[in-house]
Amino acid sequence: MQMTANEIPPPVAEPGDAALLARLKRGDAAAFESLVRDLSPRLFAVARRMMGNDQDASDALQDAFVSAFKALGDFDGRSRLSTWLHRIVVNACLMRLRSEKRRQRRTIEEILPRFVADGHAAKSASAWESGPAAAPVREELRRAVREKIDELPEAYRTVLILRDIEQMTTEQAAAALGESESAVKTRLHRARLALRELLDPVMSRGSL
């Protein structure tokens, strides 16, 4: 029987996590330095996707490690340390996004595809190139997707990242954002439509 996303158990602790966690809870500075050194690149990438630039990502990551250090006593070790820290980084980014006055991007209405009176799209969607691509082309596509995601309005960019990149369930994303699940589903649908519209000139046949 196939499990739904909400029924899938969280990743269990890795074999080395218990010993490392014990050292961390004893206040072992070397253990904490090792944890930061090993996980910082991966966690910085998460923060960079959330925040949109290196400086804000670095600040959020620093906040996250401070929060993690303070919360170590409450961590029961049933999930992986990396999974626990990932959640803390996401929460640190969300807190900064809520508190900071961010650069205003275009509204979602300015980006979404236009529809005529009968409900059909005002212009037909372009055919996107498919099939294997050379490494430089794949990297160019990844860069284009990152840039276009950054053009989305903050609320839509954030929900898209949480659901489609960080692989949160709708329930988890709703809890992290303090929104209803229906609001998250609606916003995600509009974010995907808008991203497709932004990527259309780049991804259409022959553009790369």
**Bridge partners, residue 12, by sequence:** 79
Phi first, then psi, for residue 179 (nearest 5°) are -120, 165
**Farthest-apart Cα atoms in the chain, separation:** 67
Q: Which pLDDT score is estimated for 135?
A: 62
Q: Which pLDDT score is estimated for 14?
A: 53
Is residue 122 assigned to a domain? no
Q: Which pLDDT score is estimated for 15?
A: 45
Same domain? For 37 and 84 the reply is yes
Q: Is 68 exposed, middle or buried (0-12, 13-18, 19+ CB in 10 A)?
A: buried
Judged by DSSP in three states, 156 sits in helix
pTM for the structure as a whole: 0.72
Domain of 64, in residue numbers = 11-99
Closest CA to 75 of 21, 9, 14: 21
Q: Which pLDDT score is estimated for 81?
A: 87
Is residue 1 assigned to a domain? no
Q: How many residues comprise the chain? A: 208
CATH number for the domain spanning 35: value is 1.10.1740.10
Q: Which pLDDT score is estimated for 16?
A: 63
Q: Which pLDDT score is estimated for 128?
A: 56
CB of 115 closer than 8 Å to CB of 121: yes
- Within 8 A by CB and 6+ apart from 163, the residues are 170, 173, 184, 188
With tokens 């055919």, the residue in question is 127
CATH number for the domain spanning 162: value is 1.10.10.10
CB of 162 closer than 8 Å to CB of 191: no
Residue 204 CA to residue 126 CA, distance in Å, equals 6
Residue 208 CA to residue 203 CA, distance in Å, equals 7
10-residue averages of pLDDT along the chain (208 residues): 37 63 88 91 94 93 93 85 92 89 72 65 55 65 86 92 94 93 96 92 63
Is residue 120 assigned to a domain? no
Is residue 151 assigned to a domain? yes
Same domain? For 86 and 145 the reply is no
Q: Which pLDDT score is estimated for 3?
A: 33
Is residue 85 assigned to a domain? yes
32 token code pair: 């904490």
Q: Which pLDDT score is estimated for 73?
A: 86
Q: How many domains does the chain have?
A: 2
